[in-house]
Structure 1
Amino acid sequence: MSRTVRFARAGGPEVLQFVDEPVRAPLGGQVRIKVKAIGINRAESMWRTDQYIEPVQLPAGLGYEAAGVVDAVGADVVSFAPGDEVNVIPSFSMNQYFTYGEMIVVPEYAVTRHPKSLSFAEAASVWMMFVTAYGALIEDAKVTGGDYVVVPAASSSVGLAAIQIANYAGATSIAVTRHADKRQKLLDAGAAHVVVTDETDLVEEIMRITAGKGARVAFDPVGGPNFAKLISALSFQGIAYLYGALDERATTLPVLEMIAKMISVKAHNIWLTSGDPVRRQAAVEFVLKGLESGALKPVIDRTFPFDEIVDAHRYLETNGQFGKIVVTV
C-alpha cells in the first residue's frame, strides 16, 4: 500500500486527505517512483480550489514535481531502470498523473535523471521554476546582454528562477517586490536592481534604471490593474509575459500606449516547453548546464514532512515565502 494525497471536493487546504491505495504496476511507457521529496507549486493550490487552467475531475490527486528512486518500469521503457535516481518534470495533466504520494506512477517522458550535485529536496524544487522561466525568457524572448528583464513577485520560486536565468543570459534583472524587507534578500539572490513598490513609483524607477528606454521584457505572475504599469515600463516593441493571476481583480491594458509602442502581451505556461519533446530536452540541458556551472541554484524557503502536507499548503497561501516550499517523504 502507498499513502496518496487526494481531495474529493474543491476547497481550502483542509480538503486534502491521505488515502491508502494499492501500489499499482506501471503500464507501457510508465515509470513507478519511490518518492523522496515533492515540490509545492501555486498551480496545485489553484487545482485544489478548482480555479486552475483546466477543470478538476473529482476525486483528484495533485502534484507536478517530485524526486526519488525508480521502483519499477513498464513495457517499452528503456531509459530508466529500478534503482535509478530521478526527477519528475511538470509535463502532464493532474487529471492523469500526480506526485503527492509515497509511490507514484508517471509517464517516462516526464522523468529525467537526478542531478548528482543536488539533494532530493533541492531537485524537487528546480524544474517548475526554471523551465517556466526558461520558456519565456530564453526560448521565446531570447534575452541577451543589453536587455532589461522586469520580474514582479520576485521572491516567488519562479521569480527567483527568472532573475537567475536573466543573469545567466547576460541580461540585467530588475526584481519587483512590495516589501522593503525583501530588498537585500533579492540583491543577495542575484537581482541587479530591486524596486520596492511600497516606497517608489514602479514606472519612474524602471525608467531611471534603464536611462529612459524601458525594459524589453516583463515576466509577471500577478496581473490585475497594476499590469498596465508594466506596459508603461516597457521599451518600444517590449514583451510582457503573463503566467499567473495572483491579483484576482480584472487585468486592464493601456491599449493606445500598447499600439504606440507596439507592445506584445503573451500568456505563458510551462506546457509550451515541457509538452514538446524537443523543447523539453533543450530546457533540461539548459537547466543542467546552469546547475553544474553554479549559475542556477535552487532556493528553498522551507521544508515540511509529508504528514504536514495540509500545513504546507496553508503556508503557501500566506504568500510570505522566499523561494520554494518542499515536502520530504
Structure 2
Amino acid sequence: MARTIRFHRHGGPEVLTIEDVDIAPPGPGEVRIRTRALGLNRAEALFRSGAYIEQAQFPSGIGLEAAGLIESMGEGVEGLSFGDAVSLVPPRSMLRSPVHGELVTVPAELAIKHPPALGWEAAAASWMQYLTAYGALIDIARLGRGEHVVITAASSSVGLAAIQIANRVGAIPIAVTRTARKAPALREAGAAHVAASAEEDIEVRLKEIAGEGGVRVVFDAVGGPAFLPLTAAMSRGGILFEYGGLSPEATPFPLFNVLSKSLTLRGYLVHEITGNPARLAAAKAFILDGLNDGSLKPIIARTLPFEEIAEAHRYLEANEQFGKVVVTL
C-alpha cells in the first residue's frame, strides 16, 4: 500500500484526497519508483475539473511529473538500475499512468537518469515545461539565432522554459505578461523585452520591438481576443502555436491577418514529441545538455508538502506563481 492522490468526482482542489492504494509490481518493461517530488501542471487542474482532453474514470489517479528512486524493475528493462535517481517524461495518458503518489509503476521508457546536481524539486519540474517549449520552438519552428519570439503567459513554468530555450539558441525572447508587475523578474529570468497586455497596445509594442517586419514565431498559452493583436504583429509566413487556451473569452479567427500574411495558426500538444521516439530522443539530448551546462534551470515558484496537495492546486490556479509549483515527499 502507498499513499496516492486520487479524486472521486470532478471539481475544485477540495475533491483531491490522499488514499492508501495497492501499487502493482512492475511488469515487463516497467519500473517502480519511490517518489521524492511531484511537479504540478495546468493539465492536472483541467483533468481534475473535467475540462481536459481525456476524461477521468472514478476513482481516478492524477499527475504527469515526478522524480524519485527506482525501487524495482520488470523484465527486459535496459539502461536503468535499482536505486537510480530518475525523473519522468510525462505519460501520454494521465488516466493510464498517473504519477502523483508515493510509489508509482510506469513504463521504463519514461524514466530518465537526470544530472546528479539536479535536486529532486528541479528534477520533478523539468520535463513537461522543457519538452513543451522545445517541441514547438525547436522541433517544429526551428527557431534560430537573432529571431524574435513572442511568449505569452511568460511567468508560467512553460513560459520561463521557452525564454531559456530561446536564449540557448541565440533567439530574442519577448515575454508577454498581463501587467508590468512581473516585468523585473521576467527580465532577470532572461526575457530581452517585456510587454504588458493589460496596460499597452500589444500590436504597437511588438512592432516597436521587432520592427514592421514582425515576429515569425508566437508561442501562446492564452488564446482569446489577443489573437488579433498577436497575429497583426507577425511576419509573413509566421506561425502561432496555441498550447493552452487559458482565456475564458472566445478566440476570434483573425481572418484578414491570416490571409494577408499567409500565417499558420497551429494547435500543439507535448504528446507530439513524447509519442515519437526519434523526436523524443532529440529533445532529451537538447534538454539534458542544457540542464548540464546550466542554460536550462527550472525556476520553482513554491514547494509544498505532499499532505497539502489541495493547497498546491489552489496556488496553481490562482495564477500568481512565477515558475513551477512542486510537491515534496
Instruction: Give the Å deviation of 1:98.
Output: 1.0
* CA–CA separation in structure 1 for the residues paired with 2:24 and 2:243: 35
* CA–CA separation in structure 2 for the residues paired with 1:134 and 1:252: 27
Which residue matches 2:47? 47
Which residue matches 1:235? 235
* 1:148 equivalenced with 2:148 (yes/no): yes
Question: More deviation in 167-176 or 244-253?
Answer: 244-253
- Alignment-mate amino acid for residue 318 of structure 2: T
The residue matched to 1:225 in structure 2 has which SS? helix
RMSD value, Cα: 0.9
Instruction: Give the Å deviation of 1:325.
Output: 0.3
* CA–CA separation in structure 1 for the residues paired with 2:79 and 2:291: 22
Flag structure 1 segments of 5+ consecutive residues without an equivalent. none
* 1:205 equivalenced with 2:205 (yes/no): yes
Q: Is the 8 A contact 2:23 2:105 kept in 1?
A: no
- Alignment-mate amino acid for residue 28 of structure 1: P
* CA–CA separation in structure 2 for the residues paired with 1:23 and 1:100: 12
The residue matched to 1:190 in structure 2 has which SS? coil
Instruction: Give the Å deviation of 1:273.
Output: 0.5
* CA–CA separation in structure 2 for the residues paired with 1:157 and 1:224: 20
Map 1:149-188 onto structure 2 (within 5 A).
Answer: 149-188=149-188
Structure-1-length-normalised TM-score: 0.98
Structure-2-length-normalised TM-score: 0.98
* CA–CA separation in structure 2 for the residues paired with 1:80 and 1:131: 21
* 1:323 equivalenced with 2:313 (yes/no): no
Q: Is the 8 A contact 2:122 2:300 kept in 1?
A: yes
* 1:299 equivalenced with 2:299 (yes/no): yes
* CA–CA separation in structure 1 for the residues paired with 2:254 and 2:17: 44
Instruction: Give the Å deviation of 1:227.
Output: 1.8
* CA–CA separation in structure 1 for the residues paired with 2:144 and 2:55: 37
* CA–CA separation in structure 2 for the residues paired with 1:117 and 1:228: 44
Instruction: Give the Å deviation of 1:248.
Output: 2.3
Flag structure 2 segments of 5+ consecutive residues without an equivalent. none
Instruction: Give the Å deviation of 1:21.
Output: 1.3
Q: Is the 8 A contact 1:92 1:110 kept in 2?
A: no
The residue matched to 2:314 in structure 1 has which SS? helix
Which residue matches 2:314? 314
Instruction: Give the Å deviation of 1:226.
Output: 1.6
Which residue matches 1:265? 265
* CA–CA separation in structure 2 for the residues paired with 1:77 and 1:237: 45
Aligned length: 329
The residue matched to 1:149 in structure 2 has which SS? strand
Task: Write out the 4+ residue segments of structure 1 that deviate beyond 3 Å after TM superposition.
Answer: none
Instruction: Give the Å deviation of 1:274.
Output: 1.0
* 1:18 equivalenced with 2:18 (yes/no): yes
Instruction: Give the Å deviation of 1:167.
Output: 1.1
